[in-house]
Structure 1
């Protein structure tokens, strides 16, 4: 019989399509499911609000339409975030209390309790540059961020600190897609510091695939000096993989003999 998709011949017991087209269709379906799940996650993240907070007389649609005001002196914002370690003339990033509190439990605690941030509406964030801070606040409104590897790393750190789980997952997914032999060690150490499981597993797999060159890499030598515990974990994982591979071969051999 002939596949209706690619017109290749296939066995009659196959359900209307050849193996290659069936696998391709399955991959496309899985990709669509992942995209739908991602969109649902973003929609849930963007849902307002915290009803106990004053929305500064703006309706929900108004808040979203204003997003991040272009001017740092927007009259409709009732809060702001400042890069505390930046130059004195660095502008603050305007925002709304209801948005910040509904996206981050850490911000919620700051703005709802008797803290300086609650009285002034100013949240000072340390160890971050203005561009990263603005991207962070922008994500709070849009669930979108324009990423490169450095921006994704910086935003992931902020997302972890302020418990913005959706953003952390978004950045981790991006970094995971960028893992290569050249950056696997750096990503592995970073993932360990920030409990990024998916990035950790992908980086470790890339490292183990290139174990023959591991000891010659400068990043490896730095890791030995800074965190030898991680080096031990890499070799433990590699030996476990070798044991599992050998066990699998032994099982296959026994099955063939049987």
Structure 2
């Protein structure tokens, strides 16, 4: 039998990747490991985008006619309505603001709170005007625009304002949208403030992200001025943070002990 040279043996064990055309180990199939991993990451990213688009489509879809649901015999007439930003103390419209027109059907399909207002003989339904207090005119316009388009032009302040509205009127899609933006901007210096804000407005995704950053930098956070102030203002939250920190320390110690045992075994 003829002997196989080292070059021939090496060549027979190598294949060309169908993606990048580079040679790779024949133990892999079709593509090299780098291209395979890159394709897997791309696939996961596309899956996430598809899920986000499905979520947006579901959010923008109108509710079915009320009279088609069980135990409903009549359907209120969803006509036009005006949303007005008013002063929290006086109840008067804010200066330099105007009513923001909207459609009752859109409001009712996006928010269960608006739906409750408009399905019953509440003042908002009878007058055709919904007053929103403690909100700026710009935030109100952005809020209504999101209810129609599922899009918003955000900065930190606007994202916070919209989370407040989304929490109050139970617009979960908007809250998630703004939380993702704030999480992408989250830094150590703002982590404690973000945690407090998320705690106040039930923004659980932001809460978890901020807490994780706090726990990873507890030695630095505990020396910051806002943390020291929090000890006096809201010690309950400080206790919650420390409980989470201690729990993480215990879990880390248990995991480390388990790894050491496996290594020794």
- TM-score bin, normalised by smaller chain: 0.7 to 0.9
**1:9 CA displacement:** 5.2
Do the aligned partners of 2:84 and 2:100 also contact (CA within 8 Å) in 1?
Answer: yes
- For residues 108-164 of structure 1, give each alpha carbon's deviation from its aligned partner in whole angstroms, at most 9, with x where no partner exists: 111121111111110000000000000000011111111111111110110111111
**1:3 CA displacement:** 3.8
Do the aligned partners of 1:84 and 1:124 also contact (CA within 8 Å) in 2?
Answer: yes
Instruction: Indicate the SS of the match to 2:98.
Output: coil
Q: C-alpha distance in 2, partners of 1:93/1:177?
A: 30
- For residues 145-202 of structure 1, give each alpha carbon's deviation from its aligned partner in whole angstroms, at most 9, with x where no partner exists: 1111111111011011111111111111211222111111111111111222221111
Q: C-alpha distance in 2, partners of 1:223/1:8?
A: 58
Instruction: Indicate the SS of the match to 2:108.
Output: helix
Aligned length: 237
Q: C-alpha distance in 2, partners of 1:172/1:107?
A: 22
- Partner of residue 123 from structure 2, selected from 100, 116, 141: 116
- Structure 2 gaps of 5+ residues are 1-13, 66-74, 88-92
Q: Does 1:242 align with 2:244?
A: no
Instruction: Indicate the SS of the match to 2:101.
Output: strand
Partner of 2:224: 217
Q: Does 1:54 align with 2:77?
A: yes
Q: C-alpha distance in 1, partners of 2:229/2:45?
A: 38
Q: C-alpha distance in 1, partners of 2:104/2:211?
A: 40
The 1:159–1:247 alpha-carbon spacing in structure 2 relative to 1, beyond 3 Å, is same
Partner of 1:33: 47
Q: Does 1:177 align with 2:184?
A: yes
Partner of 1:226: 233
**1:103 CA displacement:** 1.1
The range that moved more, 247-256 or 163-172, is: 247-256
Q: RMSD of aligned C-alpha atoms?
A: 1.9
Do the aligned partners of 1:104 and 1:163 also contact (CA within 8 Å) in 2?
Answer: yes
Name which one, 1 or 2, has greater alpha-carbon Rg: 2
Do the aligned partners of 2:94 and 2:137 also contact (CA within 8 Å) in 1?
Answer: no
Instruction: Indicate the SS of the match to 1:246.
Output: helix
Partner of 2:5: none
Q: Does 1:97 align with 2:104?
A: yes
The 1:18–1:202 alpha-carbon spacing in structure 2 relative to 1, beyond 3 Å, is farther
Q: C-alpha distance in 2, partners of 1:242/1:145?
A: 40
Q: Does 1:252 align with 2:243?
A: no
- For residues 221-242 of structure 1, give each alpha carbon's deviation from its aligned partner in whole angstroms, at most 9, with x where no partner exists: 2221222122122222222222
Instruction: Indicate the SS of the match to 1:216.
Output: coil
- Partner of residue 79 from structure 1, selected from 70, 81, 84: 81
**1:93 CA displacement:** 0.4
The range that moved more, 193-202 or 179-188, is: 193-202
